[in-house]
Structure 1
Amino acid sequence: MPDRESVTVLLPTYDEAATIGDCVDDFRAEGFDDVLVMDGDSDDDTRELAREAGARVEIQSGAGKGQAVREAVREHIDREYVLMADGDGTYLAEEADRMLAPLDDGYEHVIGDRFADMEEGAMTRLNQVGNKLTNRLFSLIHGEAFEDILSGYRAFSRSSFGRLRLSADGFGIETEMAVECAKHDIPTTVVPITYLERPAGSNTNLHPIRDGSIIFLELFRRAKTNNPLFYFGSVGVVSGLAGTLIAAYVAVEWFIYEIPHQIWALAGAAGILLGVQLLMFGVLSDLILTLHREQLDRIEAIDEDGA
């Protein structure tokens, strides 16, 4: 297990005055001497309470959790490992060793599975459904079962973080990290954790509909370079089905009622043609990607033999 001296605890925050003091206390009680609170310019006493509890506090230059995480790791952390959690008191500091242990076993990224032990009331029914749909879609697109890609409790090496191409500013950062780990074959594992209900007086910054839509769009957008057959094929199937339904309607109207629908006929034909073209493009893109990966594997093999 990594030494405490090689780990920085990262807590991105925004208006977490109700919980941040206890959260910092808990991690320091577990022996972590470097707790970094990356604050999004809170309007409450988050920064003051974090400092009083012994944390190192920085104010992020932009806005959003994703921007806070990127800035913290790249500019304010120089230790080998990062243990990232939320400052809302929903994760247990006493489970830090469970999160860090796999880093000594060859893994470079660890995700805490909240669904393994979720306290009643910790997540709304809507959020549970959204999380499960997101995880299934991720598994379908990327072929990896990370169980809980939206979990905010993570441990990772700073070197592996540098290989991730991250751009999300908000809550899409967890999705983006999972996608990049799968895309770049970063050794990733999942460990069961406890997920607690938010303490009284603590309000979530997550907006289920808005942030959920952003997460789904980010997941789908990222499929373009990791699973182009799914990306183009799914749109092609929708287009083809829509065109087929329109064409069937036009045919029924013409052959039974002798009512012509030239515009609808053109729309149906366009939908079918677009669907076929997108499917073909998806197949070709998938072939190119496969050849590209095989070429990269050969180059890596040559480099290893040369070394």
Structure 2
Amino acid sequence: MFENNQPSVAVLLPCFNEEVTIGKVVRNFKAALPDATVYVYDNNSTDRTAEIAAAEGAIVRREPRQGKGNVIRAMFEDIDADVYVMADGDDTYPADAAPAMVSKVLDGYDMVIGDRLSSTYFQENKRPFHNFGNRLVRGSINGLFNAHVTDIMTGYRAFSFTFVKTYPVLSRGFEVETEMTIHSLNNNLRLYEMPIQYRDRPAGSVSKLDTVGDGIKVMSTIFRMIREYKPLPFFGTIGLLIGAIGILLCGGVTYEFTKTGLVARFPTLIGAIMLVIVGLLLFATGIILDVIAKNDRKTFITDTNQFAYLRRHFTKRQRSE
């Protein structure tokens, strides 16, 4: 990957019907990173996106599986580089921020996040539900992982080679950015946030986001990953709530028994005992899954260290040849 001791940089642009903006985006990234290779992955576009990108000098490939997550999965599998810069093809992210992002990755960060929310996003973005969704997702994830990430869902990011080759892309659609952030926080990867000047889509360019549909997918992804990455808080909280309801119901029946010497509500007593048992089972499930999740994090760290070692060994051998 190293040629003349210069790190290779790949610009990744997933696209679906972006003929209005893709030419300008490719030109801007070629100007900002003249030594980088620009890849445009066309995701079943019905317009001239692929043709325009190729005319501007980008390497165009096609991904038939619909959805941004599927495109990113294909990009990460196919392309080898020392640093990756990922952006959208809609001309909302400034290409002139890319060199600084690349520099941070070369300094040792696993992922650099192009932070829209600290600059112009809320002024430029004209979709209020998107603004609300960004705040909701940010608050949920930061609260759970005790983190301080400002922009959870940005599509402008830079990655190291090791991150790209060890990150399991599970999401199929726009929720993939949220998944990336949660994966990084859960595995204590090195993150760096860099404020960028976001701008809204130019006239004639149409957003592919479905505010309600994609919002539900993002929240479903958060729910699923909390269940997988933080099972003890997830199952433990549900178990405590159910168990507490059962104990309160048992308390009511017990109080009546102390007054009358009779158990007048047997169905309530049986249901209350079942609720307490279910609560205990959920709490025990959370403990077991929490141990498994910690072992998975240990395995990920071990595998990442081995992967990084093999890459360094391979790079040294290439340099010596």
Give TM class, smaller chain.
0.7 to 0.9
| Higher mean C-alpha deviation, range 222-231 or range 157-166 | 222-231
| Equivalent residue number for residue 126 of structure 1 | 129
**Alpha-carbon distance in structure 2 between the residues aligned to 1:164 and 1:51:** 29
Deviations 1:92-151 (A, max 9, x none): 011112322211221121111110112424252211121111122212333332221211
Deviations 1:151-186 (A, max 9, x none): 100000122211112211111211121122223332
Deviations 1:170-213 (A, max 9, x none): 11211121122223332121111111111111111111221111
How far is 1:274 from its partner? Answer: 2.2
| Equivalent residue number for residue 218 of structure 1 | 221
| Counterparts in 2 of 1:108 and 1:272: CA distance versus 1, 3 Å | same
Deviations 1:65-93 (A, max 9, x none): 01101101211x22211100011111001
Deviations 1:284-303 (A, max 9, x none): 54356557767998998xxx
| Equivalent residue number for residue 157 of structure 1 | 160
Which stretches in structure 2 are left out of the alignment for 5+ residues? 310-321
CA-atom RMSD in angstroms: 3.4
| Counterparts in 2 of 1:114 and 1:237: CA distance versus 1, 3 Å | farther
Where in structure 1 do 4 or more consecutive aligned residues deviate above 3 Å? 2-5, 237-251, 260-273, 283-300
**Alpha-carbon distance in structure 1 between the residues aligned to 2:163 and 2:86:** 14
| Equivalent residue number for residue 38 of structure 2 | 35
Q: Which amino acid aligns with 1:23?
A: V
Could you tell me whether the CA contact under 8 Å between 1:220 and 1:231 is conserved in 2?
no
**Alpha-carbon distance in structure 1 between the residues aligned to 2:23 and 2:64:** 23
TM-score by length of 1: 0.82
Higher-Rg structure is: 2
**Alpha-carbon distance in structure 1 between the residues aligned to 2:223 and 2:161:** 27
Q: Identity of counterpart residues, as a percentage?
A: 32
Could you tell me whether the CA contact under 8 Å between 2:17 and 2:45 is conserved in 1?
yes
Q: How does 1:90-239 map to 2 (within 5 A)?
A: 90-119=92-121, 120-237=123-240, 239=242
Task: Give the SS at the match of 1:110.
Answer: strand
1:73 matched to 2:76? The reply is: yes
**Alpha-carbon distance in structure 2 between the residues aligned to 1:214 and 1:262:** 43
| Counterparts in 2 of 1:272 and 1:117: CA distance versus 1, 3 Å | same
Task: Give the SS at the match of 1:195.
Answer: coil
TM-score by length of 2: 0.79
| Equivalent residue number for residue 285 of structure 2 | 281
| Equivalent residue number for residue 10 of structure 1 | 12
Could you tell me whether the CA contact under 8 Å between 2:37 and 2:58 is conserved in 1?
yes
**Alpha-carbon distance in structure 2 between the residues aligned to 1:292 and 1:25:** 42
